[in-house]
């Protein structure tokens, strides 16, 4: 398992930006989304921390990620805690967990895992502010046991019935057509009865 203590993530609104450009080929205006310089600096900082922790290349395969988000503790936290001891941090300014996950997944891509599509398990939690804002991230490879489906590939396929066993007939009943009856199965007399439908 790899545990990284990362700086508080930049907001998704500051991580990606959009501007309108004029396409050279058509002359039409189009929107272009790009990673901001602030986001590039955050990505470089995350890469440096990961390498300092001993991660030289991305983890290959599926990974499980646990993300603990600690917001910045406000200066008036003691007053808030005296007023509402159990919920003082509910209105502390904090990036929401969904945006934090998106920003971190993009920043960690190519550093901790090759692509965020390899995240197969994700647990994220907002913690009580206890000082500086930060993210504690734990990443570990998922070691899969043999899939129960693999047993289906090694078994012999079900035997096919010989063509002589199928007796083609046609029975019209309530708009449905039955094309064949198997020996030992329902007989035409059974199909004629309303109980069989």
Residue 66 counted as domain residue: yes
Residue 104 counted as domain residue: yes
Report which listed range, 69-73, 141-145, 172-176, 181-185, is most confident. Answer: 69-73
pLDDT at 175 over 80: no
Residue 25 counted as domain residue: no
Q: Which tokens in the block code for residue 89?
A: 């941090």
Region for residue 175 given its phi and psi (left: phi exceeds 0; alpha: psi -120 to 50; beta: otherwise) = left
Residue 128 counted as domain residue: yes
Supply the pLDDT for residue 160.
61
pLDDT at 12 over 70: yes
Supply the pLDDT for residue 139.
94
Domain that residue 120 falls in: 2-11+37-141
pLDDT mean over 56-69: 93
Residue 192 counted as domain residue: no
Report the distance separating Cα 135 and Cα 104, nearest Å.
9
Give me the CATH number covering residue 52.
Answer: 3.30.1330.70
pLDDT at 42 over 60: yes
pLDDT mean over 5-10: 93
Residue 156 counted as domain residue: no
Domain count within the chain: 1
pLDDT at 11 over 50: yes
The pLDDT tens digits of the residues spanning 89-128 come to: 888 888 899 999 999 999 999 999 999 899 999 999 999 9
3-state secondary structure of 192: helix
Residue 194 counted as domain residue: no
The pLDDT tens digits of the residues spanning 133-156 come to: 999 999 999 987 766 666 666 666
Supply the pLDDT for residue 120.
93
Q: What percent of the chain has pLDDT over 90?
A: 45
Q: Which one has a higher pLDDT value, 41 or 161? A: 41
Residue 52 counted as domain residue: yes
Scanning the structure block, which residue is given the tokens 């939690």?
125
CB atoms within 10 A of CB 9: 25
């Amino acid at each position: 398992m790899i545990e990284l203590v990362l700086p508080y993530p930049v907001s998704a609104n500051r991580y990606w930006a959009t501007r309108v450009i004029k396409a050279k080929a058509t002359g039409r205006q189009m929107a272009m989304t790009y990673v901001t310089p602030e986001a590039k600096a955050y990505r470089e900082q995350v890469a440096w921390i990961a390498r300092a922790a001993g991660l030289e290349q991305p983890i290959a395969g599926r990974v499980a990620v646990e993300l603990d988000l600690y917001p910045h503790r406000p200066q008036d936290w003691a007053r808030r805690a005296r007023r509402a001891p159990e919920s003082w941090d509910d209105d502390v300014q904090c990036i929401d967990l969904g945006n934090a996950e998106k920003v971190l997944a993009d920043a960690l891509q190519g550093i901790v895992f090759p692509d965020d599509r390899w995240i197969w398990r994700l647990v994220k939690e907002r913690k009580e502010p206890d000082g500086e804002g930060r993210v504690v991230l734990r990443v570990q490879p998922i070691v899969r046991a043999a899939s129960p489906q693999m047993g289906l590939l090694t078994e012999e396929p079900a035997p096919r019935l010989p063509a002589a066993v199928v007796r083609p007939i046609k029975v019209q009943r309530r708009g449905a057509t039955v094309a064949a009856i198997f020996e030992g199965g329902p007989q035409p007399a059974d199909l004629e009865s309303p109980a069989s439908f």
